[in-house]
Structure 1
Amino acid sequence: MNVVDIITKKRNGLTMTRSEIDYMVKGISEGTIPDYQIAAWAMAVYFQGMDIEETRDLTLAMAYSGEVMDLAPIQGFKVDKHSTGGVGDKTTLIAIALAAAAGIPVAKMSGRGLGHTGGTVDKFESIPGFRVELSRREFIEQVNTIKAALISQSGNLVPADKRLYAIRDVTATVESIPLIASSIISKKIAAGAQGIVLDVKVGRGAFMKDLDTATQLARTMVEIGKGAGREVVAVLTDMNQPLGYNVGNALEVAEALDLLRGQGAEDLKEVSLILTAHMLVLAGKHTDFQAAREELQQLLATGQAFQKFTEIVAAQGGRLDFSLPFYDLPQASHKEELIAREEGYVVDLDALKVGHAAMLLGAGREQLDDHIDPSVGVQLVKKYGDFVKKGDVLAVMHVNDINRLALARQQLQEAFTVGPAQPVTIPLVYKTVLSQNT
């Protein structure tokens, strides 16, 4: 088999065979195909696309290109939840606790974040003492005992995707639906999930900016997941403004804890309940979505979900003090307020600019080896649709390095637009894609 022939075939818009895809993936993961040929092939896929069978074959080939987690020793139907990435998106922290409190095993393997703020692992690591490195035996025992555990992604999980993504990132081929879908689903298959709930973010703070493209991605992921023998649901949620009020690692953990204690933001609560209810339905706990949601609301109201979160933290060595306002999480040394310059309604709150402000303060990474400061970030006081008076506090920046403040302030100021008329309501959830409605 010849790499140039495969590149030519895809460049000409023809369909690759499974053996050709396997050959490419093997060469990518083992390093026998050079970067420039991988880049040429990725560009051909970017322009010519892949049909659903090609995308499924690519997904499976990548999923089995390295280590595959065997979760068979874990009792019950294993469901994972994945977000395509947003600003202030801490729903995974809440969903893990809710699903586990409902008796659904969550064996969660997550990566570190690249971009606006940290990933789920970074958020948990902002809890003093929390261990994200567990042995396989510890991981499985913890899930069987308390129904949930979270570990950092294995170094040999889907090696083909690691190399392919790095090349796509520097060759302007990231925005390809077959390549995005296969990247996400291959990691979930390799991590051992039987059921997958996908939170596909839509809007300026998301990778998918428009609903049509996001819907196409969601349908592709649901279909290839189904073809790979997994149960998959995709929920398309808004990311034009941040989810909740806090953006930054320890800040987001604190907000998740507040919600689990009954004091959280309504938008964050709503999206978390919807996603976790789908996890319960996939796992067979309920056949009816509304019944699943009602159980989760009860678990929130009775404090059982909060108790489950504390069990997870304690099991992995984390330390929280619930007698303190910020739970003894790391706090920045300085707080700087952003003040409204005029009266009116917040008619726009640009999630991307809020995320950039948080990253400039040190809450995110521009490169994978960048250091994250867990204590910094942005705490919103006003959001889309809120009325403000001149002089009101719009947001608070949590800062350690004052030299970072000026650029972050500029980004945050530009994120807010105040106008005279109250804006129309933006839906939190646009649509849900199930296997039968793809």
Structure 2
Amino acid sequence: MIQVPRGTQDILPKESYKWQFIEKKLQEIAKNYNYDEIRTPMFESTDLFVRAVGGSTDIVNKEMYTFQDKGDRSLTLRPEGTAPVARSYIENKMQHNVEQPVKLFYVAPMFRYERKQKGRYRQFVQFGVEAIGVEDPLIDVEILSMLMHIYQSFGLKNLKLVINSIGDMESRNEYNKALVEHFSPRIGEFCSDCQSRIHTNPMRILDCKKDRDHELVKNAPRMYDYLNDESKNYFETVKAKLDDLNIAYAVDYNLVRGLDYYTHTAFELMSNADGFGAITTLCGGGRYNGLLEMMDGPDKTGIGFALSIERLILALEAEGIDIPNEKGLDLYVCTMTDEARDLAGTLLHKLRNRGISADMDYENRKLKAQMKDADRKNARYTIVLGEDEIQNQSADLKNMQTGETKKLSFEEMISTMEEI
């Protein structure tokens, strides 16, 4: 039997309402912050991710789904959303937009070949936001404020926001030199990935899942001590503005994030809920200065974050928060004869074209079974069509909550349902 590919999942109707509710709320919040939706292709040139995400990252080296098309071009299913958005910003010359920063959001599937874990899949859905075109601590704070707003709007309480500054490129270069000096004498004690990164991207050693408990990682130099004055002032301003908004946070000097394009503010949001799992990260992001230039674009900077809807659902479950199921029919039409079934089909057509959700029985079941079906489908109203109803061209509209009935002609019923 052909089964769903490993690391993917079917989201069945009994669960899909959760996704619909979450995606709708995410889009509403994004629009409240004046972010507009962008939709980029599901696959891009492989070179986009190699250049933007970084050749030394696990994403590029181990996790990308890459293939050759019939034109012998190397294409990759997108593993993350920032690089495609940056590519679109450059290609569509958004730097010339009157309004800067350009504020964008997306809801899209991503693809990474990684070991399946609880809440982590090889195809997963990300909601992400990007603000490109302005370097200002206030934009960083806006992004962090939106991030907290999103999770708190779902009722989550066991949250921990962790931030750090990776500094500008000058600061990063000085810090990388210090890390090479720190790790080199004992780099043989680390995994093969860390050994290869010591001269390509030593900051990634701090983010290694295998060696995170090594004493040299715990005692590594702090990024903050290598920030130049401009980077320190930027970070201090971000923290001061967060304090003004009463947004709680913790500083983690080892937080570097997993992609090469981050500079200045980097952050992660974690869940402290019991039963959430060993991997506590819900969401992450940061500022990226130089990314667009690296892609032959303009000298513009941006900041953003991305969250996994799968992990958001896990966090809600860990805190016992139910997602409301708003699914339900406006009207269920029960039928007692073949002629009534034909009439029901015509009536349903008119109702649905007026924006009224309606359904009927298609298995020719007894009336009692049809009423049970109406209950299962959470119908707000029902009517029963039989010989008398056809002859009189009217039926009793029943409120399934109150039991109240009202006799209406079929045309009156359509207008009444519209009013309801």
Q: Normalising TM by the smaller chain, what interval? A: under 0.3
Larger Rg: 2
Structure ranking higher in strand proportion: 2
TM-score by length of 1: 0.27
TM-score with structure 2 length normalisation? 0.28
